[in-house]
Amino acid sequence: MASPTISVVIPVFNEEPNLLTLWERLRQSLSPFEAEGWEVIMVDDGSKDQSLSILKSIAQHDEHLVVIEFNRNYGQHAAIMQGFQSVASSSQYVITLDADLQNPPEDIPLLITELKKGYEVVGGVRRTRAQNDSFLRRWPSKLVNYVTRKTTGVALSDYGCMLRGYTKSVVEAMLSCDEKSTFIPVLANTFAKSITEVDVGHAPRLHGDSKYGLLALIRLQFDLTTGFSTFPLQMLSGIGIFISIGSLGLGGYLLIMRFLGYPDNTNGVFTLFALLFLILGILFLGLGILGEYIGRIYSQVRVRPRSIVKHIHRKIN
């Protein structure tokens, strides 16, 4: 096999029914690049089914596949970062893809074509998602996309699509970051000068369940917001200034009315309680956001690895 210039990194977690089909479609999609050399790095993220056994069996007979086995589950982005660390030194283009076959491997050449034009990051956009995903799957993702664009300042159409392409320089820049919790599409765009997007297919999931439910999307949004932006802190400062000004204005108004001799007929106990609970709510919100940032700092200073590799499986020539 020629030294790879194209590497495909795929995180795998309980995808047993999809792996054989995925591998066949990957081979067919990447066969036109045989002269350039290609490899696929699949990272088993602590699967509890037979995913690892299937991957090891394929790797024993096909030198194009490298299987990285984690000792436990660390999450999708930790798996991808480990895959980035393991790409061949000769690789110039790195593609990421999910193992669930919702994004077709046949679209990988589209991304490679754009990378060869000189783009540093190529993002996939799932234009046909409305035809295959339910309302409850699409709209939380749309909300995450919208909030992320506003808070991070990175304008991408589809943050949830993992079919993406990166040049070697961008991957090396991401690996130089020592962040323990990160979101790769946003992180990559902070280092890339030239970015483009291409339309890619999106199929319904045939086997298994999505790993991103509503709670996972909420956790992801917290990670995105606090990991790449200080906007929440700035927002809280703005709210604090607004409340302070409002309180001073109300106090001044009441003081003037007293000096002018107007009778105080207001027994606004409930109004005061409502204002008090509003302010308390804002304070607790602020404490929660501050706690999120402090928790990130705590995770960072512990200097723990993102993941631990138990074994690397590949064909021995």
The string of DSSP codes covering 170-190 is HHHHHHT---SS--HHHHHHT
The domain ranges of the chain are 6-229+305-314, 231-301
pLDDT score recorded for residue 72: 94
The pLDDT of 226-252, averaged and rounded, is: 68
Alpha-carbon dihedral angle through residues 191, 138, 162, 20, given to the nearest 10 degrees: 180
Residues 277, 33: contact at Cβ < 8 Å?
Answer: no
Exposure string of 31-58, with b = 16+ CB inside 10 Å and e = fewer, is eebeebbbbbbbbbbbbeeebbebbbeb
Instruction: Give residue-wise pLDDT tens across range 36-86.
Output: 999 999 999 999 999 999 999 999 999 999 999 999 999 888 899 999 999
Determine if the pTM surpasses 0.85: no
Instruction: Give residue-wise pLDDT tens across range 146-179.
Output: 666 655 566 667 777 889 999 999 999 999 887 7
Domain 6-229+305-314 annotated CATH 3.90.550.10: yes
